[in-house]
């Protein structure tokens, strides 16, 4: 016999997003210094990938806002 698992599993992307959220939830953390070290201490590729994540988050936020307002565009 085999077993069907219906439990929702987190993807790697969801796990990383939760981890980033937990790290950034520390209100004693100086975000400007974090940005400084990301730009200076990490390779350029990591810096660009972090910008891509932030741009994607902004796009998703805008998309949710448009959906809340029932925005349909110029159809």
pLDDT in tens, the chain (75 residues): 677 777 788 899 999 999 999 999 999 999 999 999 998 998 999 999 999 999 999 999 988 888 887 755 555
- Cβ burial of 32 (10 Å; 0-12, 13-18, 19+) is exposed
Q: Is 7 part of a structural domain of the chain?
A: no
Q: Any idea which residue has 């953390």 for tokens?
A: 29
Q: Is 21 part of a structural domain of the chain?
A: no
Q: Is 32 part of a structural domain of the chain?
A: yes
- In the chain, how many domains are there? 1
- Which segments of 1-75 does DSSP mark as H helices, in order? 12-24, 31-41, 44-68
Q: Cα separation of 53 and 16, whole Å?
A: 11
């Amino acid at each position: 016999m085999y077993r069907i698992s219906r439990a929702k599993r987190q993807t790697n992307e969801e796990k990383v997003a939760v981890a980033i959220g937990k790290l950034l939830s520390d209100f004693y953390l100086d975000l400007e210094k974090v940005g400084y070290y990301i730009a200076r201490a990490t390779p350029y590729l990591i810096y660009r990938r972090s910008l891509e994540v932030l741009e994607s988050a902004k796009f998703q936020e805008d998309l949710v806002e448009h959906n809340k307002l029932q925005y349909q565009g110029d159809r």
